[in-house]
Structure 1
Amino acid sequence: GGVGKTTLAQHVYNDPRMEEANFGIKAWVCASNDFDVLTVSKKILEAITKSKDDSGDLEMVHGRLKEKLSGKIFLLVLDDVWNERREKWEVVQTPLIYGAQGSKILVTTRSKKVSSMMQSNKVHHLKQLQEDHSWQVFAKHALQDDNTQANFELKEIGIKIVKKCKGLPLAL
């Protein structure tokens, strides 16, 4: 982790141009390690309705999701998906297919298997930063623009820090 998948997804989700896409519904769900079908389905429903759902019945949750999404264009972000079992994803996806054409599901994951299993249309692989770019990011945030002497003294330490961060933007 730490390459910036969630941060990039947040920028997309909050981009003003998303308003032009006419998503009637926008929802963000953190799927994380425990990909329980009922739990994830409830999280999606709760993100859409902005209210808690105490139902323990998957069929009922899926029925509500189908009702809320039918004929509507939606953007759903599933953040940090680890589940690599296709059958679980297919069950979660069942009510999502009722959304209108133009609906999008954006998934962040560390696993190439997840993007393949979800039959993604477009996959963007984020890479670690090159060392020179890492230094630029670090220097922008850590060094004082107007104090040349202090910057000179800190540069040596900063270069060591950048090397230890191994190109991970969130570590910088």
Structure 2
Amino acid sequence: MGGLGKTTLAQHIYNDPRMEEADFHIKAWVCVSDDFNVFRLTKIILEAITKSKDNSRELEMIHGRLKEKLTGKRFLLVLDDVWNERREEWESVQTPLNHGAPGSRILVTTRCEEVVCIMRSNKVYHLKQLQEDHCWQVFVKHAFQDDHSILNAELKEIGTKIVQKCKGLPLALKSIGSLLHTAKSSISEWESVLLSNIWDILKGESEIIPALLLSYHHLPSHLKMCLACCALFPKDYEFVKEHL
């Protein structure tokens, strides 16, 4: 399910100080998404490891360079958001990765159970929705940002019902909490979010979509235009803030 925090958890692991103690010679993070092109992905992995652009136009050449960089070295490679279900494509990408030293690790995030089988993962962690008390903590943290002085009984009752609609998804809780932060003590604003028909219209498409759409719906018009501009970028495109 989207919005559970798979990528966030992987980021915590990747940046954990204990990773330094694991003595990885190489660490690299690659966003895969739904375009699992063997040539493109292998090239991105090589560039992530070398921290430089590669102009190779043949897969064999990229495989050779990647093998050379990894041979005898322990590496940690994160492949984030994998959708590919074709075993032969994964095996082709994996070929140069097999030359890393013992103790090398590949950490994969995915929504798809089939990906786990295709990649023959030896350890699988299924993330679940947050428990009720944790949901409330996440929501309140973003709605009030530690200023709980205006959280009266009426707001808490409405807030509790809104939290239930977020279905335990951290991203939904953060989005709606941040949205309501701008209307901290407005009972009418909170009720408007709670009673919005968006929760029901989009039910079944994805649990996360209603919360994100509500967040967008309540933005001021100039910020909606800004988001529309950002939507022109391809998925996982890396841009520089100043350029944007």
Q: Same fold (TM over 0.5)?
A: yes
Distance, in Å, in 2 between the alignment partners of 1:14 and 1:140 is 23
Give 1:139 deviation, angstroms.
1.9
Q: Which residue of 2 aligns with 1:30?
A: 31
* SS in structure 2 of the partner of residue 78 of structure 1: strand
Provide the C-alpha distance between the structure 2 equivalents of 1:42 and 1:151, rounded to a whole number of angstroms.
55
What is the Cα deviation at residue 154 of structure 1?
A: 2.3
Cα deviation, 1:31-88, whole Å, max 9, x if unaligned, reads 1011000011011001000011122211011100000000000000000000011110
> What secondary structure sits across from 1:171 in the alignment?
helix
Q: How does 1:38-57 map to 2 (within 5 A)?
A: 38-57=39-58
Deviations 1:111-145 (A, max 9, x none): 11111211111100001113332112212332354
Structure 1: which 5+ runs fail to align? none
TM (norm. structure 1) is: 0.94
- Counterpart AA for 1:106: L
Distance in 2 separating the partners of 1:19 and 1:120: 23
Supply the distance in 1 between the matched residues of 2:116 and 2:46 (Cα, whole angstroms).
22
- Matched with 1:104 is 105
Matched, 1:117 2:118: yes
**Percentage identity across paired residues of the two chains:** 75
Q: Distance in 1 between matches of 2:162 and 2:54?
A: 46
Cα deviation for residue 93 of structure 1 reads 0.1
Runs of 4+ in 1 over 6 A off after TM superposition: none
Residue correspondences, number: 171
TM-score of the aligned structures, taking structure 2 as reference length: 0.67
SS of structure 2 residue aligned to 1:133: helix
Higher relative contact order (CA 8 A, sep 6+): 1
Residue 217 of structure 2 corresponds to: none
Amino acid paired to 2:35: D
After superposition, residues 76-155 of structure 1 pair within 5 angstroms as 76-143=77-144, 144-147=146-149, 149-155=150-156
Tell me the C-alpha RMSD between the 2 structures.
Answer: 1.3
Partner AA of 2:75 in structure 1:
F
Give distance in 2, aligned partners of 1:24 and 1:151: 53
How far apart are the structure 2 equivalents of 1:121 and 1:142? 40
- Secondary structure of the structure 1 residue equivalent to 2:95: helix
Larger radius of gyration: 2
Unaligned runs of 5+ in 2: 174-244
**TM-fit CA distance, 1:146:** 4.7
Equivalent-residue separation in structure 2 for 1:105 and 1:160 (angstroms):
40
- Amino acid of the residue matched to residue 41 of structure 2? V
Question: Relative to 1, partners in 2 of residues 1:151 and 1:48: Cα closer, same or farther, differing over 3 Å?
Answer: farther
The one-letter code sitting in structure 1 at the alignment partner of 2:86 is: R
What letter corresponds to residue 158 of structure 2 in structure 1?
Answer: I
Equivalent-residue separation in structure 1 for 2:92 and 2:30 (angstroms):
16
